[in-house]
Structure 1
Amino acid sequence: MPRRSARRATVIGGGPNGLAAAVSLARAGYAVHVLEAAAAVGGGVRSEEGPLPGFVSDVCSAVHPAAYASPFFRAFGRDRIDWIVPEASYAHPLDGGRSAIAWRDLDRTADALGTDARAWRALLRPLTRRIDALVETTGSSLLQVPPHPVTALRYGLRMLEQGTAMSARTFRGEEAAALFAGVAAHANAALPSPGAAAAGLLLAAHGHAGGWAYPRGGAQRIADALVDDLRAHGGTIETDAGVGDLSSLDWGDPARGDVLVLAGSPRLALTLRDVPAAYAGALRRYRYGAAAAKVDFALDGPVPWADPAVALAPTVHVGGTRDEIRASENAVAQGRVSAAPYVLVVQPSVLDATRAPEGKHVLWSYIHVPANSDLDATELITRQIARFAPGFRDRILASRAVAARDRVRTNPAEIGGDIFGGAFTIVQALRRPVVARSPWRTPMPGVYLASASTPPGPGVNGMAGWHAARTVLADAGERVSLADLFG
């Protein structure tokens, strides 16, 4: 495409969606400048050294099945990143040295679930077989006509089944019930609920299709690949450049075709001049959800799981039975923290030796907490992991905790410590952040939204950024596909 250097694109936020929008617009000929509040670019895909020298911890996301399956990243080029695709997508330890493992091989997973083998296959095989159609169906605004109606119907019916009291009848055994509860609990929502079921079904389907991949060297590698491409196409990035008020920002002239792309909280748009009252009201009604309290550990060896098979899965859901996980997540929904919380654990160094010194390991973990919580989750997480890995406490060399209320200091988009860009409910899937077929476009000339607060919502997939860029180009009279820009 011919370069149109007269047209400027200013992108606020250098996370995966902001960078996806920036790369797309730069390739389409815009002069792109990214403003990032933190000292390093990456947002939800940032990595840093710690808790000790030589250990590499991910600041936010750590495992990226959505990125690996994303149409944006497929077009961008997955081979730009050294992906690790484990055979075991996720594990779920249980008391008594037992565990359930979600292998990438669906039949291997189901066969180990005994009496629930048939139910596991019936729940997930139709979605796994149509994973590309499912990704496309869930990858845009739900107010549009679904591109794959049959897949959308199957997904919707299973969501209603697993998101209501009917879910109690799906599995008879403790292992299968816990295995699905652990993946549904990613949504940080009440259980059972349609929103949590939707998230769990999509994530579980990814686990049996492409797998729960993650980049060798840390999540930062995703940001690095995008930054390299942006700079190769003339884009620039400015860090330590937080913008709290857009009213005085010189981002250009929309009459000339200049655009402002907001890849953080939509609340920032309220600082613009002349925001229509109805739109401002809709943004104020948009609701943020519960938060995450995170702890990184440096370990003097691998986690000593009671069942050694758990060490085969980089991602581990720690929390016990389905009933225990539901009690933990429902406590958070009621503004409390359970004494035995659900813990999302990632042990990347079991397959990635670059993440820790030889013989050592790094562990990433968080629990769900109410918004703005100041809780240091170190002891709660340590106790829960040690329940299923006796001796874990003795392996700890150092730890570093980040309370929910402190997350906004490194990522202004994480309001109250909400890492999903808004409460994950069915209502807010339709109103994200406003009810519109193209919610990436705002009523303010030249201003667009490109964060996880817009469809398709949370998850490192770059699609909100791509949709924002595509909308910019459509408004400029250009119908552009991913293949046009990256083919």
Structure 2
Amino acid sequence: MAAHATVVGSGPNGLTAAAVLARAGLRVRVLEAADTIGGGLRTEALTLPGFRHDVGSAVHPAALTSPIFRALGLHRVVSWLNPDASYAHPLDRGPAAIAWRDIDRTADDLGPDGRAWLAMTRPLARHINELVTFTGDQLIRMPRHPLTAVRYGLRVLEQGTGLGAASFRTPRAAALLAGAMAHANTWMPSLASAAAGLLLTAQAHAGGWPVPHGGAQTIAEALAADIRAHGGVIETGTRVTSLDDLDWGDPAAGDLLILDTSPRLMLTASALPTAYARAVRHYRYGPGVMKVDVALAGPIPWRDPNVGRAPTVHLGGTREEIIAAEREVNRGRIPARPYVLAVQPSVIDPTRAPAGKAVLWAYTHVPLDSPTDATAAVLAQVERFAPGVRDLILAVHSSTAVTRAHTNPAEIGGDISGGAFTLAQAIRRPVVSRHPWRTPLPGVYLASSSTPPGPGVHGMSGWHAARTALGDAAGLPVTLDDVFGDD
């Protein structure tokens, strides 16, 4: 009889691990606390009937370049809507900066900074698969493509130390990179923020920043269909609060427990070694997010119409303004003019709102565990670059960092990244190990974004956890070819 695998949590990593293990012949059961699957991959009517809002992630640059998603065939079963403009960054004066999918068009638009932009991003975009292979795994190892890793590392040093900003002569190019770097939700400039921003920018010019037709939920549904097609089952409304109380099988018989959760759930296991428990308790969480979803009577009236061509928009002004705002958050304060990550999926996906109307998805960074509702500050930043947008508002749904933590236990304090995104915690995630997905408990593996490669909808943490578990059972390394063959 095949061994059992119990997966706790149905976020993208949990569903990916479950799909891999089901394809490998294990009898898989997924347990999800909410009434619907997906974790951060959910789409709901948060405001008014007919308006569909992504609860968590909305745009998925990492999904297109993910090796495990390609192996699972998600590019065939999910309908990706890929805009010509990956992201936009409006400024108070002059035209907005646009990261077009066409890198040469982007360089032309940036004028005197075009050559510097190409020098920074083209080598990374051209070797995006090699770059993703490097960034999509534990960093404590010899890179498979050392030239790409070195090239990326040098760019990270330039931008992470702030020295690279001197290569830009205009505010537009500097802001265009800063907006991407701010996704890291960490101190700026820093090596961690530069690493995130450069990877995202390379993806913007390689595969693009796509929106799934119908919303993020379709990614979760595609993974769930793969699990069920290979004999797995998914149980919703099942909250796991203690590993000691969870009946998941016998590790001696090859049974597995995969946790797409915060590492803190490990602390509920009485057999957890003291040293590992101490490491989990010392693992740090970063700032949280406060999210706003808006139903609009029409498209957002951006001052620069080109901004309406990009589903993703970074709001916050100049590079200096964004750095100042992110530093305020990391000092435990909420800035008056915050950095806002906004998404307008209606510009490319007509299923998200009734005809002629639109939805806006936006979040800003706030201190960990913040109960503050920053809706007014978020909407003020939108109004700053799109005068008159307030007149189009039909309904607003807001969720604070505290609310998000209550709704999704994996988001400790509203931290959607699975832990503070710093250089130290890129290596210690949540422990220093060549195989951090393996825990000291027999048969138990951690698959969440609290393990490498960290945040993002890419499923790679789930793949590494499943691969490690299968490798431990087989006594030898497991590769994608071993699981998928010629699929």
Provide TM-score, normalisation by structure 1.
0.98
Q: Structure 2 matches for 1:218-367, cutoff 5 A?
A: 218-367=215-364
List gaps (5 residues or longer) in structure 2: none
Which secondary structure does the structure 2 equivalent of 1:95 belong to? coil
Asked if 1:37 corresponds to 2:42, the answer is no
Match of 2:213 in 1: 216
Match of 2:115 in 1: 118
- Residues 468 and 478 of structure 2 are in contact (CA less than 8 Å); yes or no, is this contact kept in structure 1? no
Cα drift, residue 135 of structure 1: 0.4
Match of 1:400 in 2: 397
Match of 2:47 in 1: 51
Cα drift, residue 398 of structure 1: 0.4
Q: Which amino acid is 1:449 matched to?
A: L
Corresponding residue to 2:483 among 467, 482, 485: 485
- Residues 246 and 272 of structure 1 are in contact (CA less than 8 Å); yes or no, is this contact kept in structure 2? yes
CA distance in 2, matches of 1:482, 1:46: 27
Which secondary structure does the structure 1 equivalent of 2:431 belong to? coil
CA distance in 2, matches of 1:481, 1:49: 40
**Mean CA deviation greater in 234-243 or 161-170:** 161-170
**Mean CA deviation greater in 412-421 or 161-170:** 161-170
- Residues 97 and 306 of structure 1 are in contact (CA less than 8 Å); yes or no, is this contact kept in structure 2? no
CA distance in 1, matches of 2:42, 2:403: 16
CA distance in 1, matches of 2:284, 2:33: 23
CA distance in 1, matches of 2:483, 2:243: 30
- Residues 6 and 31 of structure 2 are in contact (CA less than 8 Å); yes or no, is this contact kept in structure 1? yes
- Residues 319 and 340 of structure 1 are in contact (CA less than 8 Å); yes or no, is this contact kept in structure 2? yes
Q: Structure 2 matches for 1:357-396, cutoff 5 A?
A: 357-396=354-393
CA distance in 2, matches of 1:280, 1:320: 43
Cα drift, residue 479 of structure 1: 4.4
CA distance in 2, matches of 1:408, 1:14: 16
Cα drift, residue 145 of structure 1: 1.1
- Residues 328 and 338 of structure 1 are in contact (CA less than 8 Å); yes or no, is this contact kept in structure 2? yes
Asked if 1:61 corresponds to 2:64, the answer is no
Identity among equivalent pairs (%): 63
Asked if 1:424 corresponds to 2:415, the answer is no
Which secondary structure does the structure 2 equivalent of 1:376 belong to? coil
- Residues 331 and 338 of structure 1 are in contact (CA less than 8 Å); yes or no, is this contact kept in structure 2? yes
CA distance in 2, matches of 1:228, 1:408: 28
CA shift digits 1:125-168 (9 cap, x unpaired):
11011100000011100001111111111111110110113133
CA shift digits 1:210-234 (9 cap, x unpaired):
0001200000000000001111111
Match of 2:468 in 1: 471
Match of 1:170 in 2: 167
CA distance in 1, matches of 2:402, 2:103: 39
Q: Structure 2 matches for 1:191-206, cutoff 5 A?
A: 191-206=188-203
Q: Structure 2 matches for 1:146-165, cutoff 5 A?
A: 146-165=143-162
- Residues 97 and 388 of structure 1 are in contact (CA less than 8 Å); yes or no, is this contact kept in structure 2? no
Which secondary structure does the structure 1 equivalent of 2:364 belong to? strand
- Residues 120 and 176 of structure 1 are in contact (CA less than 8 Å); yes or no, is this contact kept in structure 2? yes
Q: Which amino acid is 2:382 matched to?
A: I
Which secondary structure does the structure 2 equivalent of 1:231 belong to? helix
Cα drift, residue 245 of structure 1: 1.1
CA distance in 2, matches of 1:170, 1:411: 42
Asked if 1:128 corresponds to 2:128, the answer is no
CA shift digits 1:374-399 (9 cap, x unpaired):
11121111111101001010011001
Which secondary structure does the structure 2 equivalent of 1:211 belong to? coil
CA distance in 1, matches of 2:253, 2:9: 23
Which secondary structure does the structure 1 equivalent of 2:37 belong to? coil
- Residues 93 and 310 of structure 1 are in contact (CA less than 8 Å); yes or no, is this contact kept in structure 2? yes
CA distance in 2, matches of 1:33, 1:220: 20
Cα drift, residue 183 of structure 1: 0.5
- Residues 346 and 353 of structure 2 are in contact (CA less than 8 Å); yes or no, is this contact kept in structure 1? yes
Asked if 1:190 corresponds to 2:190, the answer is no
Q: How many residues align?
A: 483
Q: Which amino acid is 1:216 matched to?
A: H
Match of 1:104 in 2: 101
CA distance in 1, matches of 2:473, 2:241: 28
CA distance in 1, matches of 2:115, 2:128: 20
Q: Which amino acid is 2:37 matched to?
A: V
Q: Which amino acid is 1:125 matched to?
A: R
Cα drift, residue 51 of structure 1: 1.0
CA distance in 2, matches of 1:336, 1:309: 33
Q: Which amino acid is 1:163 matched to?
A: G
Q: Which amino acid is 2:4 matched to?
A: R
CA shift digits 1:234-269 (9 cap, x unpaired):
111111111111111111110000111111101101
Provide TM-score, normalisation by structure 2.
0.98
**Mean CA deviation greater in 305-314 or 242-251:** 242-251
- Root-mean-square deviation over aligned CA pairs: 0.9
CA distance in 1, matches of 2:10, 2:408: 10
Cα drift, residue 193 of structure 1: 0.5
**Mean CA deviation greater in 267-276 or 80-89:** 267-276
